[in-house]
Every structure is written in structure tokens, then in C-alpha cells.
Amino acid sequence: MKHTAPRGRMLKRLAAVSAFALIAGLLTAPGSSAAQTPVGGNTIPGIDEIVSSPNLKQIAHLDKSGPLTGTNTDWAFQGRYAYGGNYNGFYVYDVKNPKAPTVAAQVLCPGSQNDISVSGNLLFLGTDSQRTNDTCDNAASTAEVPGDRWEGIKVFDISNPLTPKYLKSVKTDCGSHTQTLVPGKRGEKAVYLYVSSYNLAGVDLPNCALPHDKISIVKVPLRNPAAAAVVATPVVFPDGGFPGSDSGSETTGCHDITVYAEKDLAAGACMGDGVLFDISNRAKPRIINTVRDEVNFAFWHSATFNNSGTKVVFTDELGGGGAATCNAAIGPNRGADAIYDIVGKGNKRKLAFRSYYKIPRYNADTEVCVAHNGSLIPVPGRDIMVQAWYLGGVSVWDFTDSRRPKEIAYWERGPLSLDTLTGGGSWSAYWYNGHIYSNDITKGVDVLELKDPRTNIAKFFRTDTFNAQTQDNYLRW
């Protein structure tokens, strides 16, 4: 990461804004009479009607276009470009002007979910569906001999973002549902990918035999990315993990892992288990602590550290991203986020549950709504994040007090249908260099602007590269 302004000048600006933010925070702190109250109560918006709190507004939208008509998925950012995953490939957006983003390039390369990360001149794409081959000219395959079916990681050269070039594939067991970029240790000319995948079928599948209680680790030499290869497949759950229950998923792998490389930590959302790892040795992650929630969590989906690395927010994908879970019948504690403090030191660190957070608005029973991907907003001294909730929209919430999280802003569209259960909405909503970018599953890209005295200082922080599951200390940006 590098600064985009001289450090001395940046620090003076931050000091001035910090003083303003402190005063404003005292006037509008969560829980005070001036705190933002969600607009609309439990009133369901009309079909496609946009509603929001006064402090969060849409400033741009781009529809899907060209051959990438599949489901939109995750984001990665670098410089003026945003890379948006899609089941049919990935978009390259020019976001130099957030109020007028444009499509700079499209790469047709089918293979769900096309989870995406970037590092330097490299882009990594995760494929979690069996394909006829490892190129971008492929089709879904269930007829090929199992060993001939391909799924895993594709590597692209994005030295020219307008013309990405396919370099290399790495086949991984059970494919790559998600993949997390892990910087090498200081001085190491390599990056790693922690590849998460799982088997929900309950039976052996081609290329995904049970028990699949492991992750795949791919090492990518930066001087020779074509030599990328699987270097380890550590078993995360030698005891088999959570065996499953009527309300919770059996653990047969991990869904997603977030790393905080500076602190040698990772947090794994692993179906029926939440995991805290020591990643001092990048190729040999070591479990420090695991937790379960057999009452309210159905499927541990993703994780976010706070900036000091003392908390983890885990999300629960109740309903697997295909159910209406933001309604009175489900309630506030299921299909929610769970906030854990990291207590203790060294090998004795543990994840200690503190509270749940769920958007404080009911959706229609026809709206697929679920806790999904989000990121921190860089506000020194506070823990604030933005998060996607499918058709529940985009929520900005404060968990500085782990026991009393509170929403401070929201934006959403109304249902896609009032008659039929329908999926859609925001898959990933991330803060990048002063704005929120939401990748809408069915409609395209939304750019949102947050204007709130509690978060205004965040606009002064800039980074050159952003992968949400590869967390940095934003105070060093």
C-alpha cells in the first residue's frame, strides 16, 4: 500500500478531521437522541423502489451488459479499476469518477462463483463448478470422466487492465468456492491463496470426496506466476468438525477465510464452525480456537476483523442465500452477524461471543435476504462496517461496543416480486477510497455516498489495492 499524498500533509489533515469527528461523534454517537434512525420502520418498499436513510445516497448505477448476464458476485479493487466477479466471467470497471463509472473491459470465462482477488499485475479467479476444461472456452460438465473435469483457480495478467490475459490454472480438490489472497512474509517474493470449498451433498462427489475437512493452499511465485501450484492441503478439522443438526450445517470444509497478515491471524467461516488461525507460517495455518453456535447459526459464511484485530464479525448465511430470512418469523438472532471479541494472548486466545446484529427492517416474504459480504470503513477509534444483505440492501453499522451494535445508515431497493420468492440484491458492498460499491446480483453496480459526521474522516484514507478478505491496518495506508 502507498499513500497518495505526502505523509506530513496527510497527517495534518487527519489530525484536523479527527478533532472534528470527535466533536461530531459526541453529538451524534450511536444511542444518542441525534443518532440516525432507520426510515420507514417496517413498511415494505414497492417493487424496485429505492429507500434509504438520509445519510446514504446512490450517486451512480450501471446495468449489466454484454455477455456477462450471469449472477454478479464479489469485488476486488486496484487503482482506478474495480474488478467485479460474475458467473460468466468478470467485469473491469473504471471508477476514477465514482459518479460516472464505466465498463472498461469484460472477460467471458464461465465458472461459478468467479470469486476474485488482485495483487500487483495478477488477478485470481475461483471456479467452483466442474468444467470440461481449464480454459475460458468451457462448459459445465457432469459427463466427463471425474479426473478430466476441472475446477480451481485461474490466474490472469492484468498489467493492462483493459486486456486481461489468461496465464495459468491450478486444479484444487472440490474447486474454489472462495479464495483469499495472503501476502507472503516480509521479503518473500510470493503470495498465497487460501482456497475454500465444501461438500453439501453428504456423499462422495467427483473431485470432492468426503471427508473434505481441509483447505487448499496455492503458492504463486511473483517472478514466475506460471509456476503457481498447490503446496499444502491442511486438514482443518481432524475430528470432522461440527456433525450438523436440524438447524446447523455439517462441517465439510470452509466457506470463506479472511486474513489479517500483519497480525498473522485468519478467521475461518467453516459451515458449522468459526475458526481463529495463526498464519505465521503461511503454508501451515494453525488453529488457535474454534467456536459453534448451535442455537442461532445455520451456516458460517464469512468473517471480518476490526482494525485492531481484537474482534471478529462472523456472518450466518441462513437459507443458503435462497430464503427470506429478514422477517418477523425468523427474528433478530437467526440469519444475523455474530460479534466475537478475541480475548487472551498467544496460544490461549479465544473467541468470546458478545452479541448479534441484524438489519432492523423487515423485508417481504418474497425477498431473499441474508447477511453477506462487507468491509470496514476506515474510522480511527471506531469499528464501523458496510455490509451487503442481498435484497435487504446495504447496511452501515457500528460495533465499537461489541455488546450493542447499531445501524447508522442503510440503502435498499424494494422487492423484485410481491408474488414469488425471488433472489437478487447486493452480493458484496465494500468501502473503497471514499465510496461504497455494491455488486447487485441481478441489476449491476450501484455506487453509494455516505455523508455522516461519524464517518467523514474515512474519505481521507486511500489505498492502491483492496481485497476485502485480505485485511490491512488502514492506519498505515
Residues 6+ apart with CB under 8 A from 375: 304, 385, 386, 429, 430, 431, 466, 468
| Model confidence at 343: pLDDT above 80 | yes
Q: What is the pLDDT of residue 19?
A: 38
**Residues 83 and 468: beta-carbon distance below 8 Å:** no
Q: 192 with 129, same domain?
A: yes
Read off the pLDDT of each residue in 37-42 and give the average, rounded to a whole number.
46
Q: What is the pLDDT of residue 144?
A: 75
Q: 40 with 113, same domain?
A: no
Categorize the per-residue pLDDT at 43 as very low, low, confident or very high, splitting at 50, 70 and 90.
confident
Classify residue 175: in a domain, yes or no. Answer: yes
Q: What is the pLDDT of residue 4?
A: 35
Read off the pLDDT of each residue in 140-164 and give the average, rounded to a whole number.
91
Burial label for 185, CB within 10 Å (0-12, 13-18, 19+), is middle
432 against 18, higher pLDDT: 432
Q: 393 with 438, same domain?
A: yes
235, 268, 284 - which closes a domain = 235
Classify residue 253: in a domain, yes or no. Answer: no
| 68-102 core/surface letters (b: 16 or more CB in 10 A; e: else) | bebbbbbbbbbeebbbbbbbbbbbbbbbeebeebe
The pTM (predicted TM-score) of the whole model is: 0.92
Q: 204 with 326, same domain?
A: no
Q: 197 with 74, same domain?
A: yes
Q: 352 with 475, same domain?
A: yes
25: DSSP letter: H
Read off the pLDDT of each residue in 240-259 and give the average, rounded to a whole number.
96
249: DSSP letter: P
Classify residue 470: in a domain, yes or no. Answer: yes
Domain count of the fold of the chain:
2
Q: Which string of DSSP letters, residue by residue, matches 70-137?
A: S-EEEEEEETTEEEEEETTEEEEEE-SSTTS-EEEEEEE---SEEEEEEETTEEEEEE-S-BSSSSSS
| Model confidence at 15: pLDDT above 90 | no
The CA-atom distances, in angstroms, between 466 and each of 78, 159, 375, 463, 473 are 6, 16, 10, 7, 12
What cell was used for 51?
429507500
Q: 374 with 345, same domain?
A: yes
Read off the pLDDT of each residue in 440-467 and give the average, rounded to a whole number.
98
| Model confidence at 423: pLDDT above 90 | yes
First to last CA, the chain: 6
Q: 309 with 333, same domain?
A: yes
**Residues 302 and 373: beta-carbon distance below 8 Å:** yes
Read off the pLDDT of each residue in 217-222 and give the average, rounded to a whole number.
98
Classify residue 298: in a domain, yes or no. Answer: yes
Q: 320 with 409, same domain?
A: yes
Location of C-alpha cell 516480509: 186
Read off the pLDDT of each residue in 455-472 and give the average, rounded to a whole number.
98
Chain segment 163-189, per-residue pLDDT in tens:
999 999 999 999 999 999 999 999 999
Classify residue 201: in a domain, yes or no. Answer: yes
Read off the pLDDT of each residue in 292-307 and give the average, rounded to a whole number.
98
Kind plus residue range of the DSSP H or E element containing 23? helix 7-28
Q: 176 with 267, same domain?
A: no
Please state, in angstroms and rounded to a whole number, the distance separating the CA atoms of residues 162 and 298: 41
| Model confidence at 9: pLDDT above 50 | no
Q: What is the pLDDT of residue 56?
A: 98
- Weakest-pLDDT range from 99-113, 140-154, 413-427, 438-452: 140-154
Classify residue 249: in a domain, yes or no. Answer: no
Q: What is the pLDDT of residue 147?
A: 76
Percent of the chain with pLDDT over 90: 87
Residues counted in the chain: 477
Domain that holds residue 296: 1-64+258-477
Provide the edge-to-edge strand list for the sheet that holds 72-78: 102-108, 89-94, 81-86, 72-78, 465-466
Q: What is the pLDDT of residue 206?
A: 85
The CATH code of the domain that includes 44 is 2.130.10
Chain segment 261-275, per-residue pLDDT in tens:
999 999 999 999 999
Chain segment 83-96, per-residue pLDDT in tens:
999 999 999 999 99
How do beta strands 89-94 and 81-86 pair? antiparallel
Q: 305 with 441, same domain?
A: yes
State phi, psi for 300 to the nearest 5 degrees.
-65, 115
How do beta strands 165-171 and 152-157 pair? antiparallel
| Model confidence at 161: pLDDT above 60 | yes
| Model confidence at 448: pLDDT above 70 | yes
| Model confidence at 21: pLDDT above 90 | no
Read off the pLDDT of each residue in 150-160 and give the average, rounded to a whole number.
98
Categorize the per-residue pLDDT at 1 as very low, low, confident or very high, splitting at 50, 70 and 90.
very low
Radius of gyration of the chain (CA): 21
Q: What is the pLDDT of residue 143?
A: 75
Percent of the chain with pLDDT over 70: 91
Classify residue 51: in a domain, yes or no. Answer: yes
Classify residue 128: in a domain, yes or no. Answer: yes
Categorize the per-residue pLDDT at 41 as very low, low, confident or very high, splitting at 50, 70 and 90.
low
The CATH code of the domain that includes 207 is 2.130.10.10
455: DSSP letter: T
| Model confidence at 71: pLDDT above 80 | yes
Q: 215 with 273, same domain?
A: no
Strand partners, 168: 155
Read off the pLDDT of each residue in 355-359 and give the average, rounded to a whole number.
98
Q: What is the pLDDT of residue 371?
A: 98
Across the chain, mean pLDDT equals 91
